């Protein structure tokens, strides 16, 4: 499935090339690490020598991730980023042994493309509790540790829906715009202390996020347009390549940026 509506679109091919040792000696938290983009990102960092605090709300999927890769330094932590106690647990595990280098705020949920006259309080609250509150809580808890270390890198998952109004419903669109605001403010406030905070804005990616169109208005207004303008859907590994570059010291001069990784979709 993809954040984009179910449609027959080509998958853009990508061959992952591991950069040995890029994250050696570095501890990175990845939320939503048990599926899709988070899973590919956690694996890429671990294959490049990092210690990954792989956090997810799904204990079953986390077990599979770790069992499938016994040779990698993956530390599973089951937790809901919308719950402060779970966030505290994730941070505690991440900082118990080593310095914290990075945080990938990847966990996120989609809406059903409902417009502002259709959205329920429940959908709005759940989408915001994960995408906005969860990202805020994780970042708020991580930054004191990054400040102690005098450096750090945060990558937030926004979306093409964080840059425009034609890629999702109102709740998801507003939540991903909020992620960009959080990213830029954090970059401005903590950049001078050696902490970078950037966002990635994916287009369609082959994952489990879903995104059924339950709105007739949305189907008519944006469904067909997305089919015409989208260049295809990316693999999670292609997104992991973008995310890990931003996370790595090679992006040392990049702070407060929103990097589209969408095959050029939003340039249309
Ligand atoms: N797939 C796309 O087309 C697409 C496009 C743009 C942006 N994104 C963003 O990329 C990120 C990753 O999405 P994905 O497509 O890989 O989705 P996915 O559903 O495949 O994976 C998301 C993971 O996050 C976990 N998760 C959900 N809620 C959580 C919570 N409250 N606490 C902890 N973990 C939780 C899920 O269990 C799942 O393992 C999201 O922020 C999403 O909004 C995805």
Cβ–Cβ under 8 Å, residues 234 and 12: yes
Ligand 1 pocket: which of 54, 209, 237, 246 to mutate (most atoms within 8 A of CB):
209
Q: Residue 85, exposed/middle/buried by CB under 10 A (0-12, 13-18, 19+)? A: exposed
Pocket test for ligand 1, best of 11, 32, 78 (most atoms within 8 A of CB): 32
Determine if ligand 1 sits within 6 Å of the CB of residue 90.
no
State the pLDDT confidence band at 1, using cuts at 50, 70 and 90: very low
**In order of start, what are the domains of the chain with their CATH numbers?**
27-108+127-204+235-262 (3.40.50.720)
pLDDT tier at 4 (50, 70, 90 boundaries)? low
Average pLDDT for 169-180: 99
Q: Please indicate whether residue 242, judged by its CB atom, sits closer than 6 Å to ligand 1.
A: no
In sequence order, what DSSP letters do the residues of 190-204 get, joined into one string?
HGGGTEEEEEEEE--
Confirm whether pTM is higher than 0.75.
yes
> C-alpha distances in angstroms, 157 versus 106, 132, 220, 243, 246?
5, 11, 27, 9, 12
Mean pLDDT over 80-98 rounds to 97
List the catalytic residues: 158, 172, 176
What is the residue-averaged pLDDT of the chain? 96
């Amino acid at each position: 499935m993809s954040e984009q509506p179910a449609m027959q679109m080509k998958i853009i091919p990508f061959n992952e090339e591991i950069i040995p040792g890029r994250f050696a000696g570095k501890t990175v938290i990845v939320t939503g690490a048990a599926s899709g983009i988070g899973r590919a990102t956690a694996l890429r960092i671990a294959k490049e020598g990092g210690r990954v605090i792989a956090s997810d709300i799904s204990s079953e999927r986390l077990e599979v991730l770790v069992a499938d890769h016994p040779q990698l330094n993956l530390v599973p932590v089951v937790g809901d980023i919308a719950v402060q106690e779970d966030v505290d647990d994730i941070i505690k595990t991440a900082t118990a042994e080593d310095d914290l280098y990075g945080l990938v705020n990847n966990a996120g949920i989609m809406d059903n493309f409902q417009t502002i006259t259709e959205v329920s309080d429940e959908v709005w609250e759940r989408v915001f509790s994960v995408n906005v509150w969860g990202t805020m809580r994780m970042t708020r808890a991580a930054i004191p540790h990054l400040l102690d270390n005098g450096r750090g890198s945060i990558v937030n998952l926004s979306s093409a829906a964080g840059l425009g109004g034609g890629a999702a419903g109102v709740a998801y669109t507003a939540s991903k715009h909020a992620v960009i605001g959080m990213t830029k403010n954090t970059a401005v406030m903590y950049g001078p202390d050696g902490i970078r905070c950037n966002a990635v804005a994916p287009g369609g990616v082959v994952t489990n996020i879903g995104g059924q169109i339950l709105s007739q208005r949305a189907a008519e207004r944006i469904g067909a347009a997305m089919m015409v303008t989208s260049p295809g859907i990316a693999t999670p590994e292609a997104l992991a390549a973008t995310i890990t570059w931003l996370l790595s010291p090679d992006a040392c001069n990049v702070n407060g940026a929103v990097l589209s990784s969408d095959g050029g979709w939003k340039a249309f």
